[in-house]
Structure 1
Amino acid sequence: MSDKPEAVEPSVEERVDSLARELAAAAGTGEGASKAPKEEHSVKTDQGARSRSRQGGRQTNQQTKNSSNAKATKRKHTHNEGIIPLLARAVREVEAGAQRGKANAQIRTKFHVIALLMREELSRVRSDETVSDAERAETLKRLDGVAGILAKSAARDTSLITLLEPDAPVSDATRALKRKMLVQAGSPVPEEDLKVEPKKRLVPEELVERQVRPQGIEQRLLASPFLAPDLEPKAQPTPAVRLANWELLGPLLKSFEQGGGGYACMQLPEAPVVDHISPRGLELMMHQSRFVESVREGHRSFLLADEPGLGKTAQSAIAASVADAYPLLVVVPNVVKMNWAREVERWTPNRRATVIHGDGKEVDAFADVFIVNYEILDRHLSWIQDFGFKGMVVDEAHMIKNTQSQRSRNVLSIAQRIKERTPGNNPLLVALTGTPLINDVDDFRAIWRFLGWTDAEKPGPELMARLEHLGYTPADSAFYPNAREQVIEMGIVRRRKIDVATDLPAKRIVDMPVELDEEEGKGILAAEAQLRDRLLANYDRTKSGRLGAELSDASIIRMICAQELEDSNAQTGLNVFTMVREIGQAKAGLAADYAAQLARSVGKVVFFAKHIDVMDRALHDFAERGIGTTTIRGDQTAQARQEAIDRFNNDPEVQIIVCSLTAAGVGVNLQAASNVVLAELSWTDAEQTQAIDRVHRIGQEEPVTAWRIVAAQTIDARIAELIDSKAGLAARALDGAEAKSEDDDSVQMLTLMSVLEQAIAAR
């Protein structure tokens, strides 16, 4: 065993203990804050510290100048007002988030703001001579309680520790929330926090030099230099009264996380009796016609979350025609660019589509639909934001779930620009994804912002008006189902195959346990034992240390596994990710052998793998057997991918297509096959479902079977079980299923916890 793992856990424990001592000392006590789990615990204040505080206060002239503000703050504290109650409520919300084993962006921001405000309040109360001894003691006691909860939260989610460092970077969201809490508390806001932020550049400074301008764009702009005048009176937003001081994004997300509220689909109009919209020779299905009819009636923003294979591309193309949302910008994964161009020309043959490749040298500037992939969007921000698009479609919208990524920022900035420049501020905005939720209900945040339903901190004007009209606040239990319904009516459209495509054949997933050969099997088991021993050693050290007396076994297990996962993401070497990759390599030959047998017996087969070396091994084995193959992987051009898809679907000599889970798992039609082999397991049920639904989609005439190759007697089997247990996230949030506690953690985290729990139980 290497020396490195030995140093990991003591480092975490020492950091948490040091934090607890620092916060407690700052609050004027001599005990560790980690020994104070409740805010209300009583701690006596050191008289010497109070004396030093008074001396420091006499030396501070600024406090004397602001004595009137200080007296006002004093009165607020006396009446349980001011910043302390806000900190107490916020820290409880942080504690609840940390208890779930992970902190989302909102919780992390709130955690950081609490730490900043707590330090400022400590400094104020210790140096302000106008504060009485009794008030100082009471304030320090309550701040000590806040410090204790912060320390415990950091122990549960070790990634929070860095936010407590004095020099931790302060994000814009943190500054905004801090300013908001100070205003709510009636406390003076520092001058630097009142400064108006400069107007953001349309193109981030770091991307300016990368901007390109395709030939013909200037001619197109000169041909139509003016936007149509907006003669409609501006609607005045409904003032927020009841909900003015409530944080609402968290409760809105919670309303979906709880589930049980029925299907997440807005009320759609009935389909017209005769389909006069689709071109000759094509006909929309009933569920597609109802969506298009909603667009015809004037609705303009949609999260179109139909299950994969129900024709979302066709619905979007026709929706743009009905809304006259041209020019239309379509942002897609690279693998489906060519297919999107085909679908646009197929469903709206009177419209021209152009695909943007690289620097856009071959762009048709006078086209109606411009199709660009996420990867090159940053090069085209400048001209796209000035082009005057009247609509935007984001395909596989779950790819923008991380609002901090450059990809998401590009999409959101373009959408905002389109809203600002479209007459009536009402462009057609459509987010397409059959799997909007991958790991967490927070995945909704970026999509809602793209659609204009929310901004970074609060609901948008229309949604806020809807919520205000309800007459409830998040303190009322009735708020949650009613708020969920209001968000759905903003434009969530979700239909399931089982409900709208009754003639679609069945789909099933079959696990195929395989025994690894003796040498590879021994290596995998040895690696698992090494990981298990490392986790167990870290658990024993923590259990016997300072935190062992404070935290439950479950909390210690969670802390150890969270740190292990954090280290695994940041470093190479033996960890859960490298182990799963080694298992995939060990299964490659067995999976290829099974796929070859299927190809000979039932016809075409789709072979999915996660890693290039597994794909290469499979292609080599198929070639040795004389089986015709083609492949889809991340390093191909869009044209090469489309050619591979066409060969597989149309060439009888091509029996197997070897696909990357990430490159071909979305937006690809492979329904020439009815059998799928999953050579490696995904980390999410959503990714697995997306892959299978490349085959199980409208037009498929045979039952679809996905053969999942699982290495028996390894953690591969446990991961397969956990993926299945996580399948309920979309069902809970979008299909109205009841909440399940097992969905709180990622599969990686649950895998590590399972390994450690089994090791502890086996002793």
Structure 2
Amino acid sequence: MARRGQPQTRARRSGPTDRRRGRDRARERDRGPEDVISVAARAVREVEAALRNGRATSTTRAKFQVVALLLRDERARIRAEEGSTEAHRNEQLKRLDGIATILAKTAVRDADLMALLAEDAVVSPEAKALKREMLRDAGLETAPEEAPPVERPTAAAENGVVPQSVISRKLANPFLAPDFSAVRQSAPPRSTRLATWELIGPLLSSFERAGTGASTSMALPPPSARSAPGGRELMPHQAELIAAAAAGHRTFLLADEPGLGKTAQALLAAGAANAYPLLVVVPNVVKTNWAREAAIWTPNRAATVIHGNGDSIDGFADIVVVNYEVLDRHVGWLGDFGFRGMVVDEAHFIKNKSSQRSQHVLELSERIRSFTARPLLMALTGTPLINDIEDFRAIWQFLGWIDETKPLAELMHALDETGLTPADPGFYAAARQCVVDQGIVRRRKVDVAADIPARRIADLPVELDGATGRSIRAAERDLARRLVSRYQDALAARSSGPVGDGIDHELVARVVRRELKEAATSTTSGENVFGMMRRIGRAKAGLAADYAAQLARSAGKVVFFAKHVDVMDAAEETFAKQGVRFSSIRGDQTSTARQKNIDAFVEDPDVAVAVCSLTAAGVGLNLQVASNIVLAELSWTAAEQTQAIDRSHRIGQTEPVTAWRIIAAQTIDARIAELIDSKAGLAAQALDGSEEEVGSSTDVQHDALVALLTEALSAG
């Protein structure tokens, strides 16, 4: 009976199902092409069911990708369809959104599925075949597949990536697109009076012809407020620029000298203009500092930094920081992100318009200006405008003041309002003022000396990337583990017994004293704190030298301090490669050679940097010809640091002195910097001129290791 009934049962299960499927497909064909949506809905449910039963197979992934492709194509078709009512179109789009929501929730379960939603995801042969089959199920004829045309890929296409978190941002709604509603208004007709004149050359020439007393800055409104987030107070010159942004000005060539807070001004201007999301393009050496400054000045706006392929970025951040060196990998998705503001730091980096990075920056600027009516565009540079004015052609183009051949609408209108042509004697002065009024802002230290401390320390955190950075962080973990092991051994051997669950701070101090004693006599097994600091110094050398070279180009002579000879050697090699002339002042020089190198730095205008030993050149030098100092390595005491700064901050110095302290983020280097400051009362990062010694080098070394061990014990 069971055997006779079993075939009948199978017949009852399969026959009606086949007939239902046939009827369903017939109905779908009868309803026409719009029922691609029905086919996609059935497919996405099948994918959802398959994933509930286990990991996605290749067939499941292909079906998932086909659904995404069908939704994308169908959405475009519905929007472009003529003759359809608005109600019908909205109903179809609503159905698509329902399927898209299921697709997004499904993709969250498998990262491989997320990647298939990217615009540039490779469509597998299996997916292509399945798509044709599903379109036939929907009653649509498919054209035979054609071989794609062979194109030579550009460098950006070859290297292009889309970070996973950017894909995740899209998955919040797979069809979420940037808001392009505030499109740029049509430009007014160009002046017929100036239409036949070549104007770019005369505009550039107008800066070279400027006489003494010519304006270097646009007129800025008085500040409406000086307060900033976190109870901070802006300096008057900073508050003026923020007021201009709040009043509606949207393009700035901010050329303040280094040390006058251009980063803070740019971040706060973005807030005043509500220019979010904001893209910030910077040199590698300062990208970590931009994220740090964003947390200080705009704490309610999340900032993310792109390293390498962007695997660690936050795709939902309001501020995206990317360095020039990796911009080519990301220019594709950045152009579609919907930025409403863009800041280019050290903007003279784009002066060569034929370079790839210049082309990428200009492409992104044009993209932003094409879909945003009045974006905030800021070019930051400390380079004096009177030098090599031809270099600023690319910056003016980035800001939207000119294109390849002519001034754009706003600048052209301003030139027309002068009533002059290049044939008139007064044209050049008037034209220069027209450009300045577009948004050039230039203040020198000496101009705002009353606003800033006579001498101050500015920390510049840098990321140690690559194998070197990983090695240093691994060595720090090894040091912490060795200290923990010694602590645990000492705790187990103590006769008085354990102290409970807490940390025995007296025992911690004893372990640290032993470590320092062995490190000083080179008997420590493994990495010690002195060796680690030297390795960190070597790792920072190139970055510190690169920043010093930027300062030298922007603000004149720079004093570069390092502790170790190999760090000085590495820095000098960087300067030589960049064509920056330098003098070397070391402890192993004769007095004659030393004085010759000092004189060269002080007297020769072409010698831009003095590379000095922190210990050998920290006293007895008069280097007040420079107002910018780079501290490539940390000293162990605030007094040693102050002595180095005093080589420039002394009688004869006419400008405020800024010491730029290069600190390796996420290493013991940062911890030591905090300890030096706390012992010297420098929490505000400003020197008060006190010569009081408040702690020895041993104190800092001891406290740094105590903090390292205590943190490791707490985490363990």
TM-score by length of 2: 0.46
Bigger-Rg structure (1/2)? 2
TM-score by length of 1: 0.43
Q: Which has the higher contact order (CA 8 A, sep 6+)?
A: 1
